[in-house]
Amino acid sequence: MTQQIKSLEEYKKVYAESVENPEKFWAKQAKTFTWRKPWTKVLDYEFKSPKVKWFVKGKLNITENCLDRHLESRGDQTALIWEPNDPSQAYRTYTYRELYEEVCRAANMLKANGIKKGDRVCFYMPMVPELTIAVLACARIGAIHSVVFAGFSANALADRIKDASCKMVICSDYNSRGAKNIPVKKVVDDALAMGCDSVETVIVHKNTGEKTAMKRRRDIWWHKAIEGQRKTCRATQMDSEDILFILYTSGSTGKPKGVVHTCGGYMVYTCFSFKNVFQYKEGDVYWCTADIGWITGHSYIIYGPLLAGATTMMFEGVPTFPDAGRFWHICEKHRVNQFYTAPTAIRALMALGDHWPKHYDLNSLKVLGTVGEPINEEAWNWYKKEIGKGTLPIVDTWWQTETGGIMISGLAGISPEKATFAGYPLPGVQVCLVNADGKEIRGNGKEGLLCIKFPWPSMIRTTYGDHERCRQVYFSAFEDKYFTGDGARRDRKGMYRIIGRVDDVINVSGHRMGTAEVENAINEHENVVESAVVGYPHDIKGQGIYAYVIPNAKIKNEAAFQKELRAIVTREIGPIAKPDKIQVVSGLPKTRSGKIMRRILRKIASGDTKNLGDVSTLLNPEIVKEVMKGAKK
Ligand code: PRX
């Protein structure tokens, strides 16, 4: 099993070793896994191109490490607990052996339906065990999974299916979330009607059993397709650098890009980081509340915990159904030991009152975690006091879809803790701050742009189908460095605090969104000439979406116009991208070269109109007053 650090002294020692000799350090971790063939070289890299290979020519299958290798020692231990949306419905558990058998059956089902190594399979599913099972089934036979969060619209789903030329889609009939039943299969039908010619088969998992239209020769029911499939399936031998999955994420420009992760390095890093950050101990019950549609779910619901032989939980529902005590009820019911959630959920629950957690026995909890966005001090303190009884360690984990695993975080109960600070980098992670010219800022008590200057095993390898974009977005800003897009502060003791994105990416309820994507959607409206979208501070969501819109004629009914714009964004991207505030303007502040001055728009949106700086050099300085006057409260 991968190394588990036990003290701050050990962390310091291991960190120093990992920087002095990264190859030796990672080889030591990697050796604890099952490889079909050993690697010939630990690392081969060049950031410029970028080209990054870990455990070169090593052969493995990640599911043999998640499942097979645990069968002897913990075949009867619970691997997965599933808590349904409706608390009156029975929960389900799978032992490692049961999960292994289900994954093998699903892998045989995929093969029987024409899926081979290298084929792309798209998922559009709720948080049900079949999602985890089928994702692992893909990995078992070397098919590449591309999970799309089931809150995205048909348009967004179609874009992702086309970009990866997926051969199959796996979905459910309906998705139960809170009191709602959402017709998921219908969204898939709509997406496939938009020219997704690569899709040959749709496997539909019966979740709610409501009436669902099936297309002949294309759609099959999961329960029929899996019937009679064998409980064993030989895992396909993969190269360390073969693609494990694609996951789409938003950037500052253009459409979302498919971040590519590969088998070997991702396996080693997710397991190592899981065990160390959460200090998982044999027999613990670990719960991450994320959705598998995001990287957190991939790395820390499925892969990291299963690689480590943990008991991992999946929750189908939402934090407020049937009431705001649901999370705490689940912690009590399943005796959860490690609990990992997003600041936005903490803030939402905090706003609903301190009495909710008090109704439940939270004594099983040992570790609290947060991820996805900066956590404000008030939320951190509430989490510590009300959930952690003032004593439990909180790990604030900073990382990204592109990093594959947690990069900066405390190790629970080991590292020093400071509210709103993620803390120190994990072993093997060489972070640095640079200034706008790319010069490294040395010393403590400094602020700058957060970069990583040496490869780590689970890093992004490429953006699917467009390697140049990967180079340009992440590796071209600063020489020999991966640029994260975040700004950070390093305190006197070298601990890091993430300030937030410095590019045109906003983080709404922990969901990452490109402002350009939202603008493109708004601009689809026939009466819109131009728009600019920025983020602004929001009490619960962290950031809200503020849209400035220039119409082509006077808008008679602004409420109706706003409704139409929100409907378009929902259609193009999904409800998570709907603007919170829309302001109709006659122009946007621009530089003489025609660039929108987002800095000014951000300030106005955040209600900070005192420090706009010098606006006299703008092409249209007069517009600033108008925009300020009409700003939405
Ligand atoms: O801005 C940072 C923020 O989320 C971004 C990455 O988003 P995504 O790829 O969707 O992955 C989210 C889950 C890993 C980062 O660039 N972010 C993530 N974690 C934190 C954070 N900001 C502050 N503190 C964190 N702990």
Phi, psi dihedrals of residue 122, rounded to the nearest 5°? -95, 140
Q: Ligand 1, residue 401: give the atom nearest the CA.
A: 9
Question: For residue 603, how many other CB atoms are within 10 A of its CB?
Answer: 20
pLDDT at site 471: 98
Give yes or no for residue 119 having a pLDDT over 90: yes
User: Is ligand 1 within 6 A of the CB of residue 583?
Assistant: no
| Contact status, residue 429 vs residue 452, Cβ threshold 8 Å | yes
User: Is ligand 1 within 6 A of the CB of residue 485?
Assistant: yes
Q: What percent of the chain has pLDDT over 90?
A: 97
Give yes or no for residue 80 having a pLDDT over 90: yes
| Contact status, residue 237 vs residue 36, Cβ threshold 8 Å | yes
Determine the residue of 399, 429, 482, 505 to mutate for testing ligand 1's pocket, defined as the one with the most ligand atoms within 8 A of the Cβ atom: 399
Nearest CA to ligand 1 atom 24: 374
How large is the average pLDDT for residues 177-201?
97
pLDDT at site 632: 80
pLDDT digits (tens, 9 = 90+) for 443-454: 999 999 999 999
User: Is ligand 1 within 6 A of the CB of residue 401?
Assistant: yes
Tell me the C-alpha to C-alpha distance, in Å, between residue 450 and each of 410, 519, 564. Answer: 18, 27, 39
pLDDT at site 502: 94
- First vs last C-alpha separation in the chain: 54
pLDDT at site 444: 97
pLDDT digits (tens, 9 = 90+) for 376-410: 999 999 999 999 999 999 999 999 999 999 999 99
Give yes or no for residue 253 having a pLDDT over 90: no
- Do you find a cis peptide bond into 50, omega within 30 degrees of 0? yes
User: Is ligand 1 within 6 A of the CB of residue 172?
Assistant: no
pLDDT category at 614 given cuts 50, 70, 90 is confident
pLDDT category at 436 given cuts 50, 70, 90 is very high
Amino acid at position 16, single letter: A
- Ligand 1 centre from 524 Cα, in Å? 29
Give yes or no for residue 609 having a pLDDT over 90: no
| Contact status, residue 446 vs residue 439, Cβ threshold 8 Å | no
pLDDT category at 61 given cuts 50, 70, 90 is very high
Tracing tokens 């800022």 back to the chain, one arrives at 441
Q: What percent of the chain has pLDDT over 70?
A: 100
Give yes or no for residue 611 having a pLDDT over 90: no
Determine the residue of 291, 376, 398, 458 to mutate for testing ligand 1's pocket, defined as the one with the most ligand atoms within 8 A of the Cβ atom: 398
Q: Ligand 1, residue 408: give the atom nearest the CA.
A: 26
pLDDT category at 252 given cuts 50, 70, 90 is confident
Nearest CA to ligand 1 atom 22: 373
Beta bridge partners of 314: 82
pLDDT category at 332 given cuts 50, 70, 90 is very high
Task: Show Cβ contacts of residue 452 under 8 Å, excluding neighbours closer than 6 positions.
Answer: 403, 407, 429, 430, 431, 432, 459, 481, 482, 484
Q: Largest Cα–Cα distance in the chain?
A: 74
pLDDT at site 380: 98
How large is the average pLDDT for residues 42-49?
97
Higher-scoring residue by pLDDT: 424, 633: 424
User: Is ligand 1 within 6 A of the CB of residue 409?
Assistant: no
pLDDT at site 439: 96
Closest by CA position to 359, among listed 386, 384, 388, 382:
386
Question: For residue 218, how many other CB atoms are within 10 A of its CB?
Answer: 13
Task: Show Cβ contacts of residue 297 under 8 Å, excluding neighbours closer than 6 positions.
Answer: 147, 288, 290, 291
pLDDT category at 341 given cuts 50, 70, 90 is very high
Nearest CA to ligand 1 atom 6: 400
User: Is ligand 1 within 6 A of the CB of residue 450?
Assistant: no
Closest by CA position to 134, among listed 167, 110, 112:
110
pLDDT at site 1: 81
pLDDT at site 612: 86
Cα-atom radius of gyration of the chain, to the nearest Å? 24
Token pair belonging to 332? 């009590």
Task: Show Cβ contacts of residue 589 under 8 Å, excluding neighbours closer than 6 positions.
Answer: 596, 597, 600, 601, 615, 618, 620, 621, 623, 624, 627
Mean pLDDT of the chain: 97
Closest by CA position to 133, among listed 229, 208, 216, 265:
229
How large is the average pLDDT for residues 299-304?
98
pLDDT digits (tens, 9 = 90+) for 501-527: 999 999 999 999 999 999 999 999 999
pLDDT digits (tens, 9 = 90+) for 455-493: 999 999 999 999 999 999 999 999 999 999 999 999 999
Token pair belonging to 632? 């939405």
How large is the average pLDDT for residues 287-303?
98
pLDDT at site 610: 85
Determine the residue of 486, 505, 509, 543 to mutate for testing ligand 1's pocket, defined as the one with the most ligand atoms within 8 A of the Cβ atom: 486
